[in-house]
Amino acid sequence: MSYLALERLTKAYGSVLAVDALDLTVVRGEFISLLGPSGCGKTTTLQMIAGFVEPTSGRAMLDGTDLFGVRPNKRGLGVVFQSYALFPHVTVAENVAFGLEMRGVPRAEREQRVKQTLDLVGLTGMADRYPRRMSGGQQQRVALARALVIQPAILLLDEPLSNLDAKLREEMQTELRTIQRSVGTTTILVTHDQGEAMALSDRIVIMNKGRVEQIARPDEAYARPASAFVANFLGKTNVLSAKVVNEGNRQVVDMAGFRLPVPNRSLSGAVTVTVRPERIAFVDDPAPGVQGRVHTRVFQGTHWLFHIETELGALIVLRQNDGVAVPSEGENVRLAWGENDLLIATSGAM
């Protein structure tokens, strides 16, 4: 049963559709990420759920109630903004208690819930500190505590980790997911960071130009992207021109002479193929494959990144740093991949 249902949700600014007929169902306790480039409509979608932006059309149903008939401050939603929006001249405890005061929660209960929530987000003993004297990660925790303390029906996160440095952002991702699982709050995150979305989410909603390209589990979206846009946006990928031809009683995709069976598809003529860099292997002659020459190789700690010139164009290849010798720059190599590593579509569809 869906807990939150967005039905044909649309927002137009004149002739420009910021969000175009978006459909999404979220189950209770789920962690959903709205992922996409700037201008794709993800933040506008979040703001319509929160009540900060009025939709042009469509509905948002929360546990059977139409949210668009409810004022923003009555929707029972917790929001964490990118800027945190903390009050700098009052203490952490007073910041966190603000929403409870607005709801008329008695003082004794307020103090108990504030303490419990500060403990939850790892701020034990910091109730009397002022935000301006805290690190960015600590301020982010205060903002999260302020949103959680009201026990929201849904927690809305608008790129809350984007102001943190890379190491702290990774640490906070782990903390955020742990907190969300322990509390069980239904959560919707807006982010442009693919790694963040894949690390945190039960499902990802990948958006482009106001429309949904794919809704899937992170591993599903990465392994079987629904479009070339998704394949390119979720990590590195190689986009190749190829053609489908008949070979006896089967169809094969021909990539500069390297042929593989077409997996469970009926296509013909020119196609576009995408293949992930980590799915490409170095093979020895005379194994089937594509000839190439290493243009550059870059050591990135856990793996090597290669740029290789081939008849198909420049290919990106990732090779794990497992202690095995890797090709040098300028070296001729042979590359291959399997039929199940391909995403194939007609040229027009890509």
Residue extents of the structural domains in the chain: 4-225, 236-349
Is 236-349 CATH 2.130.10.10?
Answer: no
Strands 342-346 and 269-275, sheet pairing:
antiparallel
- The shares of helix, strand and coil residues in the chain, as percent rounded to the nearest 5, are 30, 35, 35
Token pair 């958006």 is at which residue?
A: 207
Which tokens hold the place of 184? 């069980």
Strands 65-66 and 57-62, sheet pairing:
antiparallel
Write down the pTM of the prediction. 0.85
The top-level CATH class assigned to 4-225 is: alpha beta
User: Tens-of-pLDDT digits for all 350 residues of the chain?
Assistant: 689 999 999 999 999 999 999 999 999 999 999 999 999 999 999 999 999 999 999 999 999 999 998 999 899 999 998 888 899 999 999 999 999 999 999 999 999 999 999 999 999 999 999 998 898 889 989 999 999 999 999 999 998 888 778 888 888 888 899 999 999 999 999 999 998 999 999 999 999 999 999 999 999 999 888 888 898 898 888 988 899 988 888 889 999 899 998 866 667 788 888 899 999 999 998 889 999 999 999 998 899 999 999 999 999 999 998 888 899 999 999 999 998 888 886 654 44
Residue 283, SS3 per DSSP? coil
HSE (side-chain half, CA atoms, 13 Å) at 152 = 27
Closest CA to 276 of 238, 312, 303: 238
Cβ neighbours of residue 100 closer than 8 Å, sequence gap 6 or more: 109, 110, 113, 114, 149, 150
